[in-house]
Chains A and B, each alone.
Chain A
Amino acid sequence: MVHSGPMPNPPRRRPVDRMPESAFQLLVEGVVDYAIFMLDPDGHVASWNSGAERIKGYRADDILGRHFSTFYPPEDIAAGKPDRELEIAIAEGRLEDEGWRLRKDGSRFWANVVITALFDATGDLRGFGKVTRDMTERRRAEQALLERRRLVHHLVEAQELERRRIAWDVHDDSIQSMVAVGMRLQLLADRVPEEHVATVTRLDQAVRSAVERLRMLVFRLRPPEIDRNGLVAALEEYLGDVAPMWDLAHAVRDELEREPPVDTAITIFRICQEALTNVHKHARATAVEITLSTVDRGTLVVIADDGIGISLTRDHQAGLEHFGMIEMRERAETAGGWWTLGIRPEGGTAVRFWLPTTSDTA
């Protein structure tokens, strides 16, 4: 750091009496979160503290004088790991390792270990300082997170596959059959007695609008083309298709600092689709805007409309019977994020949700 101008006065420090060595020893002995102990130059345990007793399960009497390889699982001993770690500590001054260690009762814990070689003023090796932390919980949490990512990945994949199947079924089967029915109804309308023509014509119209709705369903079930140009482009394309049909002015605001990974992007796309369907069906809005931004190592998405706003009845709050809301919330929460629906102060409704970045590079 470069200082310019006069140096500030150094803060005044109260002169302290140097703590006696015994006090420092009390500190080390009292620490319970870390096993802190010494090894002699050959690797025998030469001191012990409360943390070591708590983490490893040995009392000082049990362990003093024993070789520290006692703490290693058999496969590490067979591989010569304890001695190798001491050699590295001597050569490099220090060694850090993470791995399984054994407690006195034989159970394993995941340990972070730092071994420091201690030399005296003449350069002779006096022994080693060893600090061990029990990382089992953290490792478990990390593994749970990884497992969750894997599950979410499979879930998103399975959902997309299922959607594709449903889309093909509806497209190849339901729509075709109904189109054929419609064609026959029109033929029939020319042949039935006059008094039935109106009925048959109405039937034909009903079939035709059902076909339209099924087409829209197939369109919505299509996989988003995120691979090609990214999430924002996929959303713009989708809005470009539906917004004109729905008489909606639309905009996508891209404030992303980085593209979310594909799983997350698909989930975002699907939630946006559902929210947009609601804007169309319920909001009576003239405009909708989607904003995407990178927040808290995740992606924040806001879908805001200028419609009539939403009044949450008890049913809504209980989440009964309204699958759109349930689906959006479940998708977000399954991916480890959150989802909310609220009224905008300037009028209209805003769906807001956040998904963590689930890529392994995060």
Chain B
Amino acid sequence: MTRVLICDDDIMIGEALHDVLTAESDLAVVAIAHTASDAIDLAERHLPDIVVLDVRMPGGGGIRVARELRDRCPTTRVVAFSAYADPATVAEMRRAGVTEYLVKGVPNTDIVATVRRLARGPFGKL
């Protein structure tokens, strides 16, 4: 079972993500955070395998969360999920150790596939 933490300040998006992920039998959502600080706290508490992370959130934003998680939860992998696709933001997230970037509006199947791929680990092992 892959355990996922959702971070998005938009409540509707958070809930929709929750439903999309929990519809898959191999994915479980451990919590939904709506601020950057919540996200860090909840990640430390639950140590999820994957964090689906909005880039623009109140309280420092996704970039801060990604940096903190890299130090505090080294086994947790991050998928950026954002309405922003501009190169500067992508580069910023890359520097914070985020390798997967989903633009809001992609099909649900892409979201699920990306979470699964990342959960299998960085070297593509099954």
Contact = CB atoms under 8 A, between A and B. Distances in A.
Interface of A: 171-172, 175-177, 179-184, 186-187, 190, 208, 211-212, 215
B108 A186 contact: yes
16 contacts: A171-B83, A172-B10, A175-B83, A175-B105, A177-B10, A179-B16, A180-B10, A180-B12, A180-B13, A181-B12, A183-B13, A183-B17, A186-B20, A186-B108, A208-B105, A215-B83
**Residue of A177, A180, A184 with highest tally of chain B CB at under 10 A:** A180
**Residue of B16, B19, B20 with highest tally of chain A CB at under 10 A:** B16
B20 A179 contact: no
A50 B105 CA distance: 80
A179 B107 contact: no
B68 interface: no
Contacts of B83: 171, 175-176, 179, 215
Given A171-B83, A176-B83, A187 B108 contact: yes
Contacts of A215: 83, 105
A70 B16 CA distance: 84
Interface in B9-57: 10, 12-13, 15-17, 19-20, 23, 56
A208 B107 CA distance: 9
A66 to B, nearest CB: 74
B104 interface: yes
B6 to A, nearest CB: 12
A187 B20 contact: yes
Contacts of A187: 16, 19-20, 23, 108
Contacts of B10: 172, 176-177, 180
Nearest to B84: A171
A241 to B, nearest CB: 10
Nearest to B17: A183
The 3 closest A-B pairs by CB, nearest first: A180-B12, A183-B16, A180-B16
A211 B85 CA distance: 14
Contacts of A179: 13, 16, 83, 104-105
A175 B104 contact: yes
Contacts of B17: 183
A177 B14 CA distance: 11
B105 A182 contact: yes
Nearest to A175: B83
Given A176-B12, A176-B104, A177-B12, A183 B23 contact: no
**Residue of A172, A183, A190 with highest tally of chain B CB at under 10 A:** A183
Contacts of B108: 183, 186-187
Contacts of B19: 183-184, 187
Interface residues of B, number: 15
A182 B16 CA distance: 9
A190 B107 CA distance: 13
A208 B13 CA distance: 15
Contact of B105 (A172, A184, A190, A211): A211
Given A179-B83, A208-B105, A190 B13 contact: no
Nearest to A176: B10
A190 B56 CA distance: 30
A268 B13 CA distance: 38
A186 B107 contact: yes
B29 to A, nearest CB: 14
Contacts of A211: 105
A184 B13 CA distance: 10
A176 B15 CA distance: 12
A171 B56 CA distance: 11
Interface in B73-114: 83, 104-105, 107-108
Nearest to A177: B12
A158 to B, nearest CB: 25
A175 B56 CA distance: 14
Contacts of A212: 105
A171 B104 CA distance: 11
A190 B108 CA distance: 11
B15 A180 contact: yes
A186 B56 CA distance: 24
Nearest to B54: A176
A293 B24 CA distance: 60
Given A175-B104, A177-B12, 12 more contacts: A175-B105, A176-B12, A180-B15, A183-B13, A183-B16, A183-B17, A183-B19, A187-B19, A187-B20, A187-B108, A208-B105, A215-B83
Nearest to A204: B107
A200 B9 CA distance: 27
